[in-house]
């Protein structure tokens, strides 16, 4: 792969509708994700917050979504820095972060998602490098889709 691009983010930036499907089911069933991806969805939610996905099945789900032609978007377990980084390292091109209630929390999420000097994400890309190539770290800051769920007044 020459340059990492996120077709879901590009579609949204053009003002187009992006259709997605969610899955709380997991526990070693990434085939469900590939099946959803092959139905023409632009993205598939891997629900780490309310679902039964563990680290291994989440990583497999990311691969299954790519194989089916969709972007895997996990909802992270929490807004904790390491919870976000772990999913990014596995190769997702976007995250949904729940329970963000203040501008300061939103800024912390943004910092956790971006490599220095823009952010504070630690260096690691165990699943991302094989999926997207050696130039992953040079392009992911621009291509990553970061969504926060504001769940309070």
- The reply to whether omega before 149 is within 30° of 0 (cis) is no
d(CA 85, CA 76): 10
d(CA 71, CA 18): 11
* Strand stretches in 50-152, DSSP E: 71-75, 94-100, 145-150
33 closest CA partner among 15, 52, 49: 52
- The yes-or-no answer on residue 139 being catalytic is no
Residue recorded with tokens 């993205």: 43
Q: Which residue of the set 27, 31, 39, 50 is catalytic?
A: 50
d(CA 50, CA 149): 14
Residues labelled catalytic: 50
């Amino acid at each position: 792969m020459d340059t990492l691009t996120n077709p879901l983010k590009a579609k949204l930036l053009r003002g187009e509708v992006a259709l997605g499907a969610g899955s709380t089911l997991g526990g070693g069933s990434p085939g469900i994700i590939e099946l959803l991806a092959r139905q023409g969805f632009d993205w598939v939610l891997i629900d780490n917050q309310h679902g039964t996905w563990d680290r291994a099945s989440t990583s497999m789900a990311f691969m299954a979504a790519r194989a089916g032609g969709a972007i895997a978007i996990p909802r992270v377990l929490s807004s904790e820095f390491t919870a976000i980084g772990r999913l990014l390292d596995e190769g997702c091109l976007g995250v949904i972060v729940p329970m963000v209630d203040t501008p300061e929390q939103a800024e912390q999420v943004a910092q956790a998602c971006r490599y220095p000097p823009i952010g504070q994400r630690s260096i690691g890309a165990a699943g991302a490098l094989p999926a997207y190539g050696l130039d992953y770290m040079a392009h992911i800051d621009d291509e990553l889709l970061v969504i926060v769920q504001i769940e309070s007044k």
